């Protein structure tokens, strides 16, 4: 029987897909409808969701209060503390995901280059179990030179990227870098439209985390 995982604030299911590939039966919870979510889905408040019966919980509370891309952070509420308290009260193994700069406790950092993806996308992961930090190797290329893409916003290239390309005498645009297909390939996600994709976590991240957890559980 496969272990059961719950993905809180699941969005379109990037984390859920990774946990599924790692070997979990996954259920997602989100306050908003997620018509493209690929597994069992519960629409509701993550902070009011019953966690009993699950073997593992991953939570990705909203990141706007901590993101460098947010202009007015004070207008956004951070839910990280409330989520952590809920998970601690539950008592099972969990992971909390968020952006660089979020107040997570002793997090590890994952990025696309670690998994051969063409997106940098650094994300932090806090765990209440021994989650190891994989080597953070130098990225083989950059967004400026076109090996990586920025999966964010409405499909445009960031202004700083265009400015740096001009400074280096490079073309302003790399063919296909703003296409949905390129973004989906870079993220390892082929089932989401652009509006949901920009908020997603590459499944490779949570698949690696899920496999780490299951291997430790088996060895215990």
pLDDT for 204: 98
Q: pLDDT-based confidence at 70, cuts 50/70/90? A: very low
Tokens of 112: 């696309």
Q: Counting Cβ atoms within 10 Å, is residue 11 exposed (0-12), middle (13-18) or buried (19+)?
A: buried
Digit-coded pLDDT (tens) for 94-136: 999 999 999 999 999 999 999 999 998 999 999 999 999 999 8
Q: pLDDT-based confidence at 158, cuts 50/70/90? A: confident
**If you ran DSSP here, which 8-state letter would residue 2 be given?**
P
Digit-coded pLDDT (tens) for 175-195: 999 999 999 999 999 999 999
- Assess contact for 42 and 63: CB atoms under 8 A: no
Residue 155 confidence (pLDDT) above 80: no
Who contacts 120 (Cβ-Cβ below 8 Å, separation ≥6)? 111, 112, 113, 139, 143, 148
Digit-coded pLDDT (tens) for 18-30: 999 999 999 999 9
Nearest to 201 by CA among 69, 87, 58: 58
Q: pLDDT-based confidence at 153, cuts 50/70/90? A: confident
Q: pLDDT-based confidence at 69, cuts 50/70/90? A: low
What do you get for the CA distance between the two ends of the chain, in Å? 18
pLDDT for 63: 65
Contacts of 37-42 with C-beta under 8 Å, sequence gap 24+, read 37/10, 37/11, 37/12, 37/13, 38/13, 38/191, 39/13, 41/10
């Amino acid at each position: 029987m496969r272990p059961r995982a719950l993905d809180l604030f699941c969005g379109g299911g990037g984390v859920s897909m990774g946990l599924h590939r790692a070997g979990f039966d996954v259920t997602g919870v989100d306050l908003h409808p997620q018509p493209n979510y690929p597994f069992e889905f519960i629409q509701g408040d993550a902070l009011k969701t019953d966690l009993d019966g699950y073997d593992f919980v991953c939570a990705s509370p909203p990141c706007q209060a901590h993101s460098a891309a947010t202009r007015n952070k004070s207008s956004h509420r951070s839910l990280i503390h409330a989520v952590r308290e809920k998970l601690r009260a539950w008592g099972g193994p969990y992971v909390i995901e968020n952006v660089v700069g979020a107040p997570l406790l002793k997090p590890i950092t994952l990025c696309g280059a670690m998994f051969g993806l063409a997106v940098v996308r650094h994300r932090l992961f806090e765990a209440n179990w021994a989650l190891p930090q994989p080597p953070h190797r130098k990225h083989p290329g950059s967004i400026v030179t076109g090996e990586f893409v920025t999966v964010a916003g409405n499909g445009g290239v960031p202004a700083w990227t265009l400015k740096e390309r001009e400074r280096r005498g490079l073309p302003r645009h790399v063919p296909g870098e703003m296409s949905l297909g390129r973004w989906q390939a870079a993220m390892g996600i082929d089932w989401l439209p652009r509006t949901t994709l920009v908020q997603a976590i590459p499944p490779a991240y949570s698949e690696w985390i899920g496999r780490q957890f299951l291997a430790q559980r088996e060895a215990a």
